[in-house]
Amino acid sequence: MYGWLDAFVWTLALEQPVYVLFLRGRFKSWWAPCVLSLALSTATHPLFWALASGENPVVTSIPAAEVFIMGVEALGVWLAVRDARLAIVSAVAANAFSWLLGPLILTRLG
């Protein structure tokens, strides 16, 4: 059985390249999108884990928790680049990629 740390590492591995792909042209340094992605995941993954645990009376499903996290991450990207469309598209793409592939990878490894 995989726990939070396993899921967090896979989230970083899957989402960071997507964010870098979308945001690399918006920063002067190559590493800035990496730092932004790391900061977003570090801030939101524990929150996602808590919301999706099934013990939260407000959010009762993983998709609902994922949509909330996408919004939080889109806000974080928007604060960094001030481009609402790019913020939404990159957050949706990164989270959809990890949401679709993460369970598949963990199932194959288990």
* Average pLDDT over the chain, rounded to an integer: 89
Distances (CA, A) of 80 to 3, 66, 73, 98, 109: 31, 21, 11, 22, 35
pLDDT tens sequence across 78-108? 999 999 999 999 999 999 999 888 778 777 7
pLDDT tens sequence across 1-24? 568 898 899 899 999 999 999 999
DSSP 14: H
Count structural domains, the chain. 1
Residue 70 identity (one-letter amino acid): M
Q: Residue 66: which domain range?
A: 4-109
pLDDT tens sequence across 55-80? 655 556 778 888 999 999 999 999 99
